[in-house]
């Protein structure tokens, strides 16, 4: 399953703009999580071709209304485990007979 998920994953860069945005989220998230979310939100702003998902196994920190609001603005859905992330991708790409 991990290999299937990784074929559709995007590795996001950490640059000075991501670090600057992360600082804005440190009142809600610790710095590592703020860096992750800043990376995701910057990539979403840069544009996506369609619906996307943010997959994390850390729902405690990311399952937050403010974070979900930012994600939803860019047609991005929070998925809190790899199985639901893969199911989302399969549905979007009609892989594996799902969709």
pLDDT at 98: 42
- Which structure tokens are listed for 36? 């992750």
Q: Which residue has the higher pLDDT, 87 or 11?
A: 87
> Which of 28, 54, 57 is CA-nearest to residue 43?
54
> Could you give the angle at the alpha carbon of 12 between the alpha carbons of 9 and 14, nearest 5°?
160
The residue with tokens 């196994």 is 57
Predicted structure pTM score:
0.78
For the chain, the average pLDDT equals 85
pLDDT at 8: 65
pLDDT at 99: 40
> If pLDDT is split at 50, 70 and 90, which confidence band does 69 have?
very high
pLDDT at 94: 74
């Amino acid at each position: 399953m991990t290999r299937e998920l990784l074929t559709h994953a995007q590795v996001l860069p950490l640059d000075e703009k991501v670090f600057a945005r992360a600082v804005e989220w440190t009142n809600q998230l610790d710095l590592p999580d703020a860096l992750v979310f800043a990376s995701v939100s910057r990539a979403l702003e840069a544009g996506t071709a369609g619906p996307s998902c943010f997959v994390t196994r850390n729902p405690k920190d990311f399952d937050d209304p403010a974070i979900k609001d930012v994600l939803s603005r860019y047609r991005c859905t929070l998925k809190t485990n790899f199985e639901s992330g893969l199911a989302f991708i399969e549905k979007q790409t009609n892989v594996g007979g799902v969709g």
